[in-house]
Amino acid sequence: MPDDDLVGEASRQLTICNACRYCEGYCPVFPAIEIRREFEKGDVFLLANLCHDCRACYYACMYSPPHEFAVNIPQILSEVRLESYKAWSWPSLLAGSFRDIRKGMILAGLSIGVILALALTLLVPAKLFAVHHGPGAFYAVVPFLVMLLPALALTVYGGAVWVIGGIRFWKDTQGELPCPVGFRVLAQTAGDILNLKWLRGGGRGCNYPNAQASQARRFYHSLVYYGFLSAAVSTTLAAIYQDILHRLPPYPLTSAPVLFGGFGGIAIVIGVAGLVVIKTTSDREPAHSQSLGLDYLFLIILGLTALSGMLTLLFRESSAMGIILTLHLALVAALFITVPYGKLVHALYRSLAILRHHLEQSQPNRSARGH
Amino acid sequence: MGTRSTTQDSSLTLVANSPTQFDVIVVGGGNAALCAALAARKLTPSVLLLERAPAHMRGGNTRHTRNIRCASVGNGDRSQEYRVEEFLDDLIGVTGGPANLDLAKFAIQQSQSLPQWMSEHGILWQPPLAGTLHLGRTNRWFLGGGKSLVNAYYDALARMGIAVRYDADVVDLLIEDGEFRAVTLKIGDDHEAIRGRAVVVAAGGFEANIEWLKRYWGDAADNFLVRGTPYNDGTMLANLITKDAKQIGDPKAFHAIAVDGRAPKFDGGIVTRLDSIPFGVVVNRFGQRFYDEGEDIWPKRYAIWGRLIAEQPEQIAYSIVDAKTIRCFLPPVYKPYQADSLEDLAGLLKLEAAPFLETIQNFNRATAGNLESTLERLDGVKTRGLTPPKSNWALPIDRAPFYGLPLRPGITFTYMGVEVDSNARVIQSGGRPFSNVYAAGEIMSGNILTKGYLAGFGLTIGSVFGRLAGKEAASHAGR
C-alpha cells in the first residue's frame, strides 16, 4: 500500500478501535489510542512502533475480516512500522530496503561477499590455513587493526544513522521532551524494555503462533535478546582484557569473555531457531508478509553470526580456525552494515515509543474526551 | 418465520436411522449455550453443542458484549458492594418490574457466583473501560470483550471434550407427547437427525428477522439496524411456538439504542452507538425535538432511545451538538456532519431549515446560557418553559462549528420468548413444562425483561439460566 493510503487505512481502523475500546486491557497501544481523537501520520507511526505484534487484539476483534469493517491491527501496524523505519532511516537509497526485502538481501549478501573476497585475496594463505596457538592467534590470521578499524567505522556510522532516526522519530511523533524526564517514567520505560513486558500479550503471552496464548515468542525473543546482550558484554570484557590487562585472545574456556560469549552464542542460536520455527508456523491472517521477510533476514544473519562464533570457539585449535574466523568476521560485518536497515531498528524505535507512551500517560490532562 | 420443518414422518425415519445420541444437545453458540454445555459436562460426558454460524462468527450476540452485571459484596468494601436488593431495585426502576419476579430474583441471587465460575472456565478480567461512567461497581468487565469471552469458552469446551458443530442449521425439534427426541439439521438439501435425551435451546431472539419484526412494526422495521449477529432470525423460537411452547413477552419489546444511521444493517456492534445525545438536542426529520435529552444519567437512559427513534417518522433523528461539546463524548466511528452555521448544517442533514432553526432558537432561549455543566452527575442545568424540557446539561447550541449525527434505532435483542419454569424448562401452552426441553438466554429473556434495559443484564440472564438449564438437562438425561 502506498504511504498515504497506508496511513489513511490505519487511521480508519484506529478510529474504529477508538469507538470500541474493548482491547484497552491488552497493551499500551489502546490507552494511547484513547487519548487521541484523530490519527495523523505521526500518531499512526507512534502507535505502530508501540505495537509488539502480540495479536491478542486480532483474535478478540469482532470486526476482523471478513467483517465489512475489516479491522486487522497487527497487520496494518506491521506495515506502517516498515514505512516508519523507511521514513526515519538514512540515506533513502538504503532505507528503501525496509519496503523491498530484495534490497535488504542484496545489501547483506554483498557485505558478506565483498568482505570474504577481500579477505581471501588479501590474507596470507599460509597463515589462513595454519594452526595457531597462544595469545594473538586470531590476529595472526586477521591483523588486529583490520578487525578493529572497520568495526569502529561501522559502529560510528550505524550509531549516527540511529541518532538521526531517533531525532526524526521524536519530531514526527510530535514529542516534546520535558526536562528532566521523571525518574518514574524512566524506570517504567526501562522495566518494560528489559522485561519485554508487552510480549506478555493479553497476560498469558502472545497469541503466537496461533490463536492460543503462549509464552513461546517471549521465551525465544528473550533468549535472542539476552544472548545478544551477553555477547556484547563478552566483547566489552575482551576489550578490557586486551587493552587494560594486556592479555591477548584467545582466552581460556573458563574466562569471563568466553563464558559470556558462549552463553550468548548458544542463547542466540536457540532463540533464533525457535523464533524462525514459530514464525514459519504462525497464522498468516494477522501477519504482514513483508515484515515477516525482514524478520527472517535479520534472524538468519544473526543466527549464522552466532553459530560461526561458536564454531570459531570449537575449532580454534585447528587449521580450520582461520577460515571459520574469517567467515565469522564477514558475518559480523554484514550484521553491522545491515543494522540500520534491518529488523534490529525495532529495538530503537520501540524503546522510544515506550518512553513516549509513559511520558504521555504521565501528563495530567491526557484525556481526549475533554472532561 | 424462516422455519422449514420437516414432516413428522420423515423426521421419525431420520431419527430411527440416526446412529448418534447425546445426553444433552445444546442448540445455540452464544454465552447461554456455552454456559449450558459447560454446566452439563459436569454431569455427563455426552454433550453436543450446535452453533449455526460458521466458526469465525460463532458466539451470537455475545461477540459484541463487554461486561456482565453481578451482585457482589465488594470484598468487604461497602462503597464497592452491589447488594442483591439494590440490583433488584435497579431492575424494577428501569424495566417497570420483571415479568416473573421469582426468576428475576433467582438471576440476581445467582449472579454473585458468576465471576468465580467464569474465571474457572478461563475468563480473564480487566478494570472498567475508560469513559464508561458509573458502571465500575455494578458490572464486571472481561478482558478483550465478548469475542475473547466466547473464545475462552470454546477453548474450555475443547478441553473438556464437548462436541461442537459449526454451520449447524437446526431447523426442527422433534417432540412427541411433550418429550424431546431429536433435533433435525439441514445440510444443503439433506436433513440429518441427532437424538438427545434432553435439549437446551439457547438460540437467541428474532431481532435479525426483519420480516418477523414487520408483523409488529410494519415497514418501520426496514429502517431498524440490527446491532448483532445476522443469525438470530428466531428459527428456534418459532419452532418451539409451533410445538406448543407458551409465548411470553410483548412482541414489540426489545433492547434498542441509538446508533449511527450510516452503520451496517447487521453486526455493527458497539462502535456504531452514539453517546452524544445528552450533550445537545435531538430532532426528528421535521426538525422538532421529541424527548428530554437530559432526563437522567446516560447509563440509565441510553437504552430508551432506540425505541424513541423507532417511533419517529421514518425512524430517523439527528443529534445536534456544537463546538463546546463535540469532544465531550466517546469519538464516533463515522465523522459527524459539520457546518459553520446551523442553516448549513440543516442543508447537510437534508432538514428543512426554518423549523429546525426555530427549534434550536427556542431551545437556546429556554436555557440559562453557558453555565458550568458536567455529565458526571445530574447537574440541574435545565431549560425553562420548554416542551419537551431538557432537565440537565441544557447548554445552548451556539458555538460554531455545529455538528449533526444521524440516529437510527439499533436493535440489540428482542424480549418475546418462551416461558420457562424455575428449572429453566420450557412451559407448554397448557401450563405444564416439557419434560426435557430447556431454554436459556435471549430466547427466554422475556420471563424477566419487559421493557427498558439494564446494562450487562443480558449476559447475567444468559449465564445464570444457561448454567441452570445445562445442569438440569444433564441430570434429567442421567435419570
C-alpha distances out from residue B270 to A22, A48, A277, B65, B226, Å: 9, 24, 37, 8, 11
Q: Would you call A356 helix, strand, or coil by DSSP?
A: helix
> Is B148 touching A (CB cutoff 8 A)?
yes
Instruction: Say yes or no: B122 and B215 in one domain.
Output: yes
User: What is the pLDDT averaged over residues A271-291?
Assistant: 95
Across the interface, whether the CB atoms of A22 and B146 are under 8 A apart is answered yes
Least confident of A218-222, A248-252, B199-203: A248-252
B453 and B379 part of one domain? no
Start-to-end CA span in chain A (Å): 37
**In angstroms, rounded to a whole number, what is the distance separating the alpha carbons of residues A286 and A284?**
6
CB contact under 8 A, A62 and B376: no
Distance CA A15, CA A10 (A): 9
CB contact under 8 A, B126 and A37: no
Beta carbons of A34 and B130 less than 8 Å apart: yes
B151 CB near a chain A CB, below 8 Å? yes
Are both B246 and B271 inside the same structural domain?
A: no
What confidence score (pLDDT) does residue A243 get? 87
> Cell digits for A73?
491491527
**What residue has cell string 484513547?**
A34
pLDDT tens digits along A258-272: 999 999 999 999 999
B209 in any annotated domain: yes
Residue A24 pairs in a beta bridge with: none
Indicate if B110 and B221 belong to the same structural domain.
yes
- Ramachandran bin of B54, using left for φ above 0, alpha for ψ from -120 to 50, beta for the remaining angles: beta
pLDDT at B6: 46
Give the pLDDT confidence score for residue A370 in this predicted structure. Answer: 33
B269 at A interface, C-beta within 8 A: yes
Q: Closest Cα of chain A to B65: distance in Å? A: 9
More confident residue, B281 or A146: B281
CA-based nearest residue to A294, from A337, A329, A332, A339: A339
Alpha-carbon span A300 to A334, nearest angstrom: 11
Per-residue model confidence (pLDDT) at position B130: 67
| Co-location of B395 and B265 in the same domain | yes
Residues B160-192: tens digit of each pLDDT:
999 999 999 999 999 999 999 999 999 888 999
Q: What is the pLDDT of residue B74?
A: 74
Task: DSSP for B71-114, please give it.
Answer: -B-GGG-GGG-B-HHHHHHHHHHHHSS-SSHHHHHHHHHHHTTH
- The full DSSP string for A89-150 is SSSHHHHGGGT-HHHHHHHHHHHHHHHHHHHHHHS-HHHHTS---STTHHHHHS-HHHHHHH
Q: Which three cell numbers stand for residue B360?
A: 434550536
Q: Which residues contact B99 (CB under 8 A, 6 or more apart)?
A: B248, B249, B446, B447, B448, B449, B450
Interface of B with A in 429-468 (CB under 8 A): none
Interatomic CA distance for residues B109 and B282, integer angstroms: 38
Chain A contact probe: residue of B125, B271, B375 with most A CBs at under 10 A: B271
Query: Beta strands B47-50 and B163-165: pairing type?
Result: parallel
Q: Is residue B150 part of a domain?
A: yes
Number of A/B CB contacts below 8 angstroms equals 94
Nearest CA in chain B to A13: B333
Are residues B228 and B323 located together in one domain of the fold?
no
Task: Please give the residue that has the higher pLDDT: either A148 or A30.
Answer: A30
Mean pLDDT confidence for A150-155: 89
Closest CA to B464 of B117, B220, B205: B117
- The alpha carbon of residue A11 and the mean position of all alpha carbons in its chain are separated, in whole angstroms, by 25
Give chain B positions within 8 Å (CB) of A60: 144-145, 147-148, 151
Domain finish residue from B410, B426, B458:
B410
Cβ atoms B280, B321 nearer than 8 A: yes
Residues A240 and A108 in one domain: yes
Q: Is residue A367 part of a domain?
A: no
Query: Is the Cβ of A40 closer than 8 Å to some Cβ of chain B?
Result: no
pTM of the model: 0.93
pLDDT (0 to 100) of residue A179: 67
A277 touches chain B (CB under 8 A): no
Contact call for residues B424 and B465 (beta carbons, < 8 A): yes
CA distance B148 to chain A (A): 5
A367 band by pLDDT with thresholds 50, 70 and 90: low
Question: Minimal Cα–Cα distance from A26 to chain B, Å?
Answer: 7
- ∠ CA B267-B270-B272, nearest 5°, is 80
Contact B342, B356 (CB under 8 A): yes
Please tell me whether residues B127 and B229 are part of one structural domain: yes
Residue A339 CA to residue A98 CA, distance in Å, equals 11
* Chain A residue closest in CA terms to B374: A371
Residue of B64, B146, B327 with shortest CB distance to A369: B327
Q: Which residue segment(s) compose the domain that B379 sits in?
A: 256-410
Res B470: pLDDT: 98
Is B123 part of a structural domain of the chain? yes
Q: How far apart are CA B345 and CA B324, in angstroms?
A: 16
A66 chain-B contacts, CB cut-off 8 A: 56
The DSSP element (H or E) to which A192 belongs, if any, is: helix A183-195
| pLDDT of A299 higher than 50 | yes
A317 close to B (CB below 8 A): no
Q: Which residue of B has its CA nearest to A23?
A: B144
Of A71, A4, A59, A74, the C-alpha closest to A292 is A74
In a 3-state reduction of DSSP, which class is residue A65? coil
**pLDDT at residue A187 is higher than 80:** yes
Grid coordinates belonging to A189: 520505560
pLDDT at A3 over 80: no
Q: Which residues of A touch B126 (CB under 8 A)?
A: 24-25
Q: Do A31 and B130 touch (CB under 8 A)?
A: yes
- Do B271 and A368 make contact, defined as CB atoms within 8 angstroms? no
Smallest CA–CA distance from A19 into chain B, residue: B271
Residues B166 and B227 reside in one and the same domain: yes
Task: Give the pLDDT of residue B105.
Answer: 97
B71, three cell numbers: 451482585
B193 membership: H or E segment, kind and range: strand B190-201
Tell me the Ramachandran region of residue A348: left when phi exceeds 0, alpha when psi lies from -120 to 50, beta otherwise.
Answer: alpha
For B439-472, the pLDDT digits (tens) are 999 999 999 999 889 999 999 999 999 999 999 9
- For residue B256, give how far its alpha carbon lies from the nearest alpha carbon of chain A (Å): 18
Residue A158 sits in the same domain as residue A121? yes
Domain harbouring B463, CATH code = 3.50.50.60
The domain boundary residue, chosen from A39, A69, A88: A88
Q: Is residue A365 part of a domain?
A: no
- Residue A6, amino acid: L
pLDDT of residue B419: 98
Residue A250: partners with Cβ closer than 8 Å, 6 or more residues away: A135, A137, A138, A258, A316
Q: Is the pLDDT of residue A75 over 50?
A: yes
At A29-42, the pLDDT tens digits run 999 999 999 999 99
Tell whether A69 is within 8 A of chain B (Cβ).
yes
- Pairwise CB contact (< 8 Å): B330 & A369: yes
Which residues of chain B fall below pLDDT 50? 1-7
B322 shares a domain with B215: no
- Identify the pLDDT of residue B12: 65
Q: Are residues B441 and B384 in the same domain?
A: no
Is A368 in contact with B331 (Cβ distance < 8 A)? yes
Question: What is the enclosing helix (H) or strand (E) of B173?
Answer: strand B169-176
- Contact between B24 and B40 under an 8 Å Cβ cutoff? The reply is yes
State the pLDDT at residue A180.
73
Residue at which a domain ends, from B353, B388, B410: B410
Structural domain total, chain B: 2
What's the domain range around A46?
3-88
Looking at the complex, report in whole angstroms how far the Cα of residue B145 sits from the nearest Cα belonging to chain A: 5
Identify the burial level of A171 via C-beta atoms within 10 angstroms of its C-beta, where 0-12 means exposed, 13-18 middle and 19 or more buried. Answer: exposed
Contact A32, A110 (CB under 8 A): no
- Burial class for B369, CB neighbours closer than 10 Å (0-12, 13-18, 19+): exposed
Question: B169 and B105 in one domain?
Answer: yes
Number of domains in chain A: 2
- Which of B386, B410, B434 is the C-terminal boundary of a domain? B410
Q: Three-class SS of residue B399?
A: coil
CB contact under 8 A, A63 and B271: yes
Q: What is the CATH number of the domain that holds B262?
A: 3.90.700.10
Q: In percent, how much of chain A has pLDDT > 70?
A: 97
Q: B-chain residues within 8 Å CB-CB of A369?
A: 131, 327-330
Binning pLDDT at 50, 70 and 90, where does residue A81 land? very high
Selected residues 231-260 of chain A with any CB under 8 Å from a CB in chain B: none
Residues B111 and B171 in one domain: yes
> Are A112 and A60 in a shared domain?
no
ipTM of the complex: 0.93
